[in-house]
Amino acid sequence: MWTNSEDKALRVRAEAVIPGGMYGHQSARLLPEDYPQFFEKASGAHLWDADGNRYLDFMCGYGPNLFGYGHDGIDAAYTGQLARGDTMTGPSGLMVDLAEQMTAMVSHADWAMFCKNGTDATTMAMMTARSHTRRSTIILAKGAYHGAAPWCTPVRRGVAKGDRAGQVFCTYNDVESLEAAVREAGDDLAAIFAAPFRHDTFVDQEDPDPAYAKRAREICDETGALLIVDDVRAGFRLARDCSWSRIGVAPDLSCWGKAIANGHPISALLGGDKARAAAASIYVTGSFWFSAAPMAAALATLKLIRETDYLEQTVALGQRLRDGLDSVASRHGFGLRQTGPVQMPLILFEDDPGLGKGYAWSAALVKRGVYFHPWHNMFLCAAMTEADIDFTLEAADDAFMAIRAEGVWPPSAQLVAAGLVPGG
C-alpha cells in the first residue's frame, strides 16, 4: 500500500533547516500533493521514495539518467578513477581524452571546456560570445530556460537590473520576431541563444523550424555574432551529435550537461575554431571542474552513446508510449496534447487551463507506480523496456478511469497559489 509518512516527516525536518523546505527544480512544491519529495534509492528505470514506494521514473533525474540509474559500467568507470584520483591539484589526462572524444562526436566542435552545472556552460557561452565580439547584447527566446544564474534565472527576486542588461527577446521559431530582435540589438549583437527545440515548461513543445535555425545562422554570419545551441537538457537524446545537426545547422558554441556522464557531475561548453581565442580569453573555473572521476564516467557514457542503439530504442519506446497513451486517453474521453520528441515528451490535457486534469491524472499515476510530470518535459532512458511502457499504459488506463470517476478537476491549487494558472 502506498504511504508517505516518511516523506512527510522528512518534509517537516527540512522545513526547519532548508529555506522553504526545498528549492530549485527538484522542489515538489509545485507538484500534485502527495508527490514524494525525498528518494531512497534508484536502479535502472526505477526509483524508490523515502517510504519505499517504487516508481517507473519518467523524469530520469530531470535528464541525467540516460542509460539507467546505477549503470554498472559507467559507475565502475567512476569508482575506478575515484580510487586512483579525482579532485587533484590538476586534471588527469582523461580530460584530454574526453575533449578529443566530444569534439570527434560533435561535428561543429573543435574544442571543449568542462564545468559542473549546465548554467556554467551557458554562462561561459555568453562570456565567450561577448569576448569574441566585444559586444554585449544577447538574443534569447521568451520563456526559454538557460539556467539559474542572475542573468538567466526565471524568477526575478534577488536579480539586479544590471544582471539583465543587454538582453533582447524573440519568440522561438518566429523568424520575424528574431529579425526584430536583431534590429533592436543594433550594432551590439554578441550572440543568439537557442534551445534545440522549444522545451519550455507549461506549454506545448515545438520542434525547431529549420527556417528559423538557418536564419539565426545567417544573421550570426552577417553580424559576426555567435550562434549558441543550449543542448544541456537534450544533448545526446536526439542525436549522437549536437541536436541541430538534425536540421543541418551548425552553431558556433553548444552547451552540454545532464546526461553526458549519466548522472555524474559534469557539463561542457563546446565550440568551433572561430571562438577558440575568445574561449581562452575568459576566466572561468570551479573547485571541482577538473575532477577526473566524472570524466571517466563521461568517457564510458560516450562509448555507450557511440556503440549502442540507445537512441533508436528510446525513440521506439517513446513512440509506443505516445501511441498507447493517445489510444487509452480517447477510450476514456480525454484528449492529450503530447508534444516534443517522443523520447522527451511533454503531456498536457486538452481543455485544461488550470492543469486540474493533468494534476489529478499524474497524482493517480504516482500512486500506481509511475512518476510523470504534469508540466515539465519528461525523459525516457535506455533502461526502459517495452514491458515498462505497457505497465505505464495499464497504469494510465486505470488512472484515467479513476479521474473520470472523480468527474471534476479543479485547477491545481499549487499553481493557482503561485499565480501560474488561472484560479477556479
Annotate 30-51 with b (16+ C-beta within 10 A) or e (fewer). Answer: bbbeebbbbbeebebbbbbbbb
Report 277-306 residues binding a second copy (CB under 8 A): 277-291, 294
Residue 163 interacts with a second copy (CB under 8 A): yes or no: yes
Q: Applying CB under 8 A, which part among 5-13, 243-251, 336-344, 393-401 lies near a second copy?
A: 5-13
Q: Binding of a second copy at residue 372 (CB under 8 A)?
A: no
Least distance (Å) between residue 23 CB and a second copy:
6
> Which residue among 53, 56, 66, 92 contacts a second copy (CB under 8 A)?
92
- Work out whether 1 is an interface residue with a second copy (CB under 8 A): no
Query: In the bound complex, what is the minimum distance in angstroms from residue 408's beta carbon to a second copy?
Result: 29
Q: How near is the Cβ of 255 to a second copy at its closest, in Å? A: 12
Position 111 contacts a second copy (CB under 8 A): yes
* C-alpha to C-alpha distance for 346 and 375, rounded to whole angstroms: 7
Q: Does 5 bind a second copy (CB under 8 A)?
A: no
Q: Return the range that interacts with a second copy (CB under 8 A); candidates 273-281, 313-321, 338-346, 410-418.
A: 273-281
Distance in angstroms (rounded) separating the CA atoms of residues 229 and 379: 19
- Contact set for a second copy, span 243-262 (CB under 8 A): 257-258
Residues 203, 150 contacting (CB under 8 angstroms): no
User: Which window, 124-132, 170-178, 223-231, 402-410, contacts a second copy (CB under 8 A)?
Assistant: 124-132
Look at residues 226, 231, 243 and name the one whose alpha carbon lies nearest to residue 144. 231
Q: Which residues contact 206 (CB under 8 A, 6 or more apart)?
A: 172, 173, 197, 198, 339
Q: Closest approach of Cβ 281 to a second copy, in Å? A: 4
Beta carbon nearer to a second copy, 152 or 328: 152
Write out the binding residues for a second copy, residues 380-409 only, by CB under 8 A.
Answer: none
Nearer to a second copy, 262 or 313 (CB): 262
Least distance (Å) between residue 116 CB and a second copy? 4
Alpha-carbon distance of 178 to 219, in angstroms, equals 9
- Options 52, 85, 224, 335; binder of a second copy; rule CB under 8 A: 85
Contact call for residue 3 and a second copy (CB under 8 A): no
Out of 40, 174, 184, 326, name the contact with a second copy by CB under 8 A: 40
Angle at 269 between CA 86 and CA 246, to 5 degrees: 125
> What is the per-residue DSSP string for 124-154?
HHHHHHHHHHS--EEEEETT----SSTTT-S
Q: Please name the amino acid found at residue 128.
A: T
By CB under 8 A, residue 28 contacts a second copy: yes
* Residues between 172 and 231 with contacts to a second copy, criterion CB under 8 A: none
Task: Please classify residue 282 by burial: count the beta carbons closer than 10 Å to its beta carbon, then call 0-12 exposed, 13-18 middle and 19+ buried.
Answer: middle
Residue 177's CB is within 10 A of a number of other CB atoms, namely: 17
What is the distance between the alpha carbons of residues 45 and 369, in angstroms, rounded to a whole number?
Answer: 12
Among 149, 311, 413, 420, binds a second copy (CB under 8 A): 149
Considering beta carbons, is residue 130 or 215 the nearer one to a second copy? 130
Residue 242 interacting with a second copy (CB under 8 A):
no
CA distances from 15 to 18, 87, 157 (A): 6, 33, 20
Asked whether the beta carbons of 217 and 207 are under 8 A apart, the reply is no
By CB under 8 A, how many residues form the interface with a second copy?
Answer: 116
Taking the C-alpha atoms of residue 336 and residue 303, their distance in angstroms, rounded to an integer, is: 37
List the grid coordinates of 36. Answer: 514524494
| Sites for a second copy among residues 309-368 (CB under 8 A) | none
Nearer to a second copy (CB atom), residue 215 or residue 237: 237
143 touches a second copy by CB under 8 A: no
Given its phi and psi angles, is residue 417 left (phi above 0), alpha (psi -120 to 50 degrees) or beta?
alpha
**245 vs 291 by CB, closer to a second copy:** 291
CA end-to-end span of the chain: 32
274 binding a second copy? (CB under 8 A): no
Position among 142, 164, 183, 274 found at the interface with a second copy (CB under 8 A): 164
